[in-house]
Structure 1
Amino acid sequence: ESLLFILFLLIFAVAASGYVLVTGWDDPNKSKYKLLVECSLIITSVVPPELPMELSLAVNTSLVALAKLGVFCTEPFRIPFCGKTQVCCFDKTGTLTDDKLILKGISVPDEGSAEVESLIEPQSASDWTHFSIAACNSLMFVDNELVGDPMEVAALKEMGWAPSKGDIMNRISGPKQKIRILHRFHFESALKRMC
């Protein structure tokens, strides 16, 4: 709204400045430099100097009104943009989203290609895929409970692997297999990989 107001004032300022310029240009007694300064002064004086202060006052008033309604805003600079909001959706975990991850499938590229055709069922993946997912994770038991990345927990459960004590992974569905994790390489965020 404030931008429309400024645009409205600017149109009148340009019209007034144009009128002063046209009528003053023909006057031989008038300095052309002073005429251009007057025209630029007309255009610049259209924007009120109090406008930034009025905008911050409007944001602060909105913050107080929202706080009275029990809504606390952590980013007040976004309040002026909220005037354009038509729909507002809220979600709490368990309604639209869920905190439980489900492995839908695995995408494995062909040898020598980075292209992925489609998802395959977790149980029909190759043994090497099973071994990679079972061995390359950061999961561990704490108080007889599996803790770690929820994505890794979901992948292990869907692929039929269960960790046991001593860094041993047991395949509980399909052929009985065991993998022992010899060393864990922790994720290095600077390198974006485990090292």
Structure 2
Amino acid sequence: MVFLLCPPPPGFFTAKGSLVSSIMHPQPIDFRFYRDSGKFLLLLGLVAFLGTIYSVVILCLYNVTWLSLVIRSLDIVTIAVPPALPAAITTGTIYAQRRLKRQGIFCISPPRINICGKVSVFCFDKTGTLTEDGLDVWGVMEGGSAGFSELVPDPGRLRPGPMLSGLACCHTVTLLHGQPLGDPLELKMVESTGWTLQEPEGDGKVLDAEFGGHRVLAVLKPPARGTVSGPSLISTNQWDSFVVYVQPR
């Protein structure tokens, strides 16, 4: 007797399957402006109800027939709450989806097209999530009151200031046997600045004399610039003072 065992297909229970499932069947979205739209429609319905009562009272005073009374009341309702509003919104979404398709952009969830009308700033995540394991820094744009500055492809060439110091210091990267460990994004961020992480050996009191007797956990040093050596990009007095960057938890 021979038994033929056929395992069932994994379906969406694998990592790639769950990703495909999330693309084919996106989760329902519930944003604030959807709730605000519902409140707006309720307000229009209230206006239509009050208008209907007013028109019924006025038309009854003029002895209008019941047929005319019903027709006029329905006119008030359709004026306050347009019945063609959902159809108009759907038609606009369909045309927007077609224009996106002509540009090579495919949208499997048309309601999200309406959400894009509320977006003022796009923050794009890294590409190559499915095809590449590593990360790479494309550039840095510093923001300010006047907007964003020009793109700096090499963060190590940023001018000394809070942006460069923040990229080099605001992270959770640590050293283990001389190798930096931490979040891949933070590792690439520190690497792009050219700064090096140095941790004192032993109990952390090797640099007591230089740092005023305080226990030092780690020190970040900027790369050497040509023949200039020694001064820190985060110090105004060439290592006489230090700026401490604290990352909130």
- Scaled to the shorter chain, the TM-score interval is 0.3 to 0.5
Q: TM-score, length-normalised on structure 2? A: 0.35
Q: Which has the larger radius of gyration?
A: 1
